[in-house]
Amino acid sequence: MYSILYIVLCLALVAAAIRPLGNYMAAVYDDKAGWLEKTFGGFEHVIYRVCGVNPSQEVGWRGYTLAVLAFGLFGFILLFTIFSAQSLLPLNPQGFEGLSPDLAFNAAISFITNTNWQSYSGESTLSYFSQSVGCAVQNFLSAATGMVVAVALFRSLIRKQVKTLGNPYVDLTRSVLYILLPLSLIFSIILVSQGVIQNYSSYVSYIPLEGKDAMLIPQGPVASQVAIKMLGSNGGGFFNANGAYPFENPTPFSNMLQIISILLIPAAFAYTFGVMVGDRRQGWMLIAAMTIIFIPLMAVSVMSEQSANPKFDSHIIDSSAGNMEGKEMRFGTVSSALWAAATTATSNGSVNAMHDSFTPLGGLVPLLLIQFGEVVFGGVGSGAYGMLIFVFLTVFIGGLMVGRTPEFMGKKLGAFEIKMASLVILLPAALVLFGTSAAVMTEAGRAGIQNPGAQGFSEILYAFASAANNNGSAFAGLSANSFFYNMLLGVVMFIGRYWLIIPVLAIAGSLVGKNTVPVSAGTMPTHTPMFTSMLVGVIVLIGVLTYVPALALGPMVEHLHLMHAAGNP
C-alpha cells in the first residue's frame, strides 16, 4: 500500500503542475511572461545589446540550425578549455589537474548535448570552477537548446506560408531567464533547507574510527547544480554516487522533490505544445500516450525490485525489503525503481541507486525506456519534438490505411517530412547497435567489461543506448574511462543530439512554408483515444522490433538464469 501511495503522490503532484506550468511556458514564448518579464525585461534587453542580437529579427530553418550548431560548438570549445586547464583556473582548493584530452573531449561533448555522461568521479576530478562555470552553466544552456528546437517545431504548425521560425537567441534567452533560472532558484533553496550543501570550502579532513589514515569529506556548490541537473534533464552528479550521495540527496523529501523535478518540465512542455498550437487536446494526447507507456513499465520495475533475489538464502540474508543491493536504505526499492523509470523515460540520467544491481527485469525497464528514444516524457523540449516525430509517422501510417495524404494540424505531410522523421527515429538505433557491436568485437571495447557474460553485454548496450539518446545514466559496471570509450561515446553523443536536431528543424522549415487545409470527412482526428492508442503502438512496435534481439542477449538471458536458480525452468 505504501508503494502505491508514494507513486500516486509523486505522479499526482506532477500532474497538478502540468497545466499552470504549461500555460506559463507558452506565455514566455509568446512574450507574455507577466511580472517576471516586467522585473527582468530590462536585463533581457541588456543581454541582447551585449551579444549584438536584434530580438525582432527572425530567421528560417537554416539560420536557426546554424545558430544552434554554432552555439553548441562555442560551448564545446569553452568547456573543453576549462576542463583541460582547470589547474590554472581559480576555485580549485584541492589542486586538481586538468583532464586528459580524451576525457575532456568526452565530458565537454556530454554536457553540451544534455547527456551528462560521466566516466569520472566529480568530487575527485573537477574543480569548483569546472563544476560551476563549466558544468552548471551548460546544464542551463543545453536544456534551453532542446526547448528552442521544440518551440521552432511548434511554430511551424501554426504559421502559414512564411519562411521564418523565430529568433533562436531570443528563445534561448527567454528559456533560461524566465523558466529555468526561476525554477532552479526555488528548487535549490528547498534543497538547501533539506541539507544539500552549497559552499566553496576546502574538503574536510578527518580520521575515521577504524583506521589511522586521514580521509576527506568533499564540499562544494552542490544545491545550485542539483536543481538544474534535475529540472533541465541533465542528470550529471556533483558527486560520483549522484542522487545516492547524502550531500546531494539527504532526505526522503528531497528524494521525492527530485523525482518530481525530473518529470516536471518534460510533462508540462507537451501541454505547452497544445497551448501554442491553439488546441489543448493535442497536448493532452501527447501526455496520455507518454503516460500509457510509462506507467506499466514503471510498475514492472517496481514489482521486480520488491521481489527477493532467489539466489540469496533467506536464512542468511533477509530479503523481505526486496532487492536492496545497490540501493540506499533511506529510499528503499520503490523510490529507487520509480526514480530509475523516471530518469530514463526522460533524458535525465541521474540515479539514486545503481542500475547495475537491479534485477534483470528491473534493469530491462530503464534500458527499454531509453531505447524508445526517450519520448516517454523525454528531455526538456527534446521529448516533445521527439514525440511529435512519432506523431508524424503515425499520421502517415494512418493515411496509408485510408488512402489519403497524411496531415497534422492542417499541414500536409509529404515525402520530405516522412524521410526526415524516419531519419530521426532510425539514427539513434543505428548508433546504439553499431556502437555496441564495435565494443564487443574489439579488444579495446572488451577490456572495459568487469562482469563477463550477459551482464557485461547489458552494460555495453546500456552505455551506447544512454549516449545515443542523450540520457547519461549507466549500468556502472563498465570501465568507460579509456581512450576507446571516451572517443567513441563522445562521437555517439554528438551525433545523437545534433544530427537529430537538423532533420527536426528541416521538417519545421518545410511545414512553416505550407498553408493549412480545411478539415474534411477524411481527416484523421489526432486527439482521440483511437489515435493515442495507434501512437503508443507505433512507439512500442518500433522499439521492440529494433532492440529485442540485443535485449535477448542481455537482460532476458539474465532473467532466465534467475528463474532457473529459483527452480522455475
Spell out the per-residue pLDDT of the chain, length 569, in tens: 677 899 999 999 999 999 999 999 999 998 877 777 777 778 899 999 999 999 999 999 999 999 999 999 999 999 999 999 999 999 999 999 999 999 999 999 999 999 999 999 999 999 999 999 999 999 999 999 999 999 999 999 999 999 999 999 999 999 999 999 999 999 999 999 999 999 999 999 888 887 778 888 999 999 999 999 999 999 999 999 999 999 999 999 999 999 999 999 999 999 999 999 999 999 999 999 999 999 999 999 999 998 877 777 666 677 777 888 889 888 989 999 999 999 999 999 999 999 888 989 999 999 999 999 878 999 999 999 999 999 999 999 988 877 777 889 999 999 999 999 999 999 999 999 999 999 999 999 999 998 888 889 999 999 999 999 999 999 878 899 999 999 999 999 999 999 999 999 999 999 999 998 887 777 788 999 999 999 999 999 998 889 988 998 888 888 887 777 666 55
Backbone angles phi, psi at 217, to 5 degrees: -105, 115
Q: What torsion do the CA atoms of 24, 29, 32, 35 make, to the nearest 10 degrees?
A: 60
Is residue 496 domain-resident?
yes
Count structural domains, the chain.
Answer: 1
Domain that holds residue 413: 382-565
Q: Classify residue 445: in a domain, yes or no.
A: yes
**Residue 194 placed within a domain:** no
Q: Any residues with CB less than 8 A from the CB of 492 and at least 6 apart, and which?
A: 431, 435, 464, 467, 468
What local confidence, expressed as pLDDT, does residue 32 receive? 79
CB count within 10 Å of CB 149 equals 26
* CA dihedral sign of residues 196, 201, 202, 204: negative
Using alpha carbons, list the distances in angstroms from residue 250 to 342, 474, 526.
19, 22, 44
H-state helical runs in 180-325: 181-194, 222-231, 252-276, 280-306
In a domain? residue 440: yes
Are 511 and 157 spatial neighbours (Cβ–Cβ below 8 Å)? yes
Question: Does 405 reside within a domain?
Answer: yes
**H runs (alpha helix) in 351-453:** 360-371, 382-402, 415-441, 443-446
> What is the per-residue pLDDT for 70?
95
Instruction: Tell me if 336 is assigned to some domain.
Output: no
Query: Is 403 part of any domain?
Result: yes
For residue 407, what are the β-bridge partners? Answer: 412
Cell matching residue 287: 501526455
Whole-angstrom distance, CA of residue 154 vs CA of residue 151: 5
Does some domain include residue 410? yes
pTM: 0.94
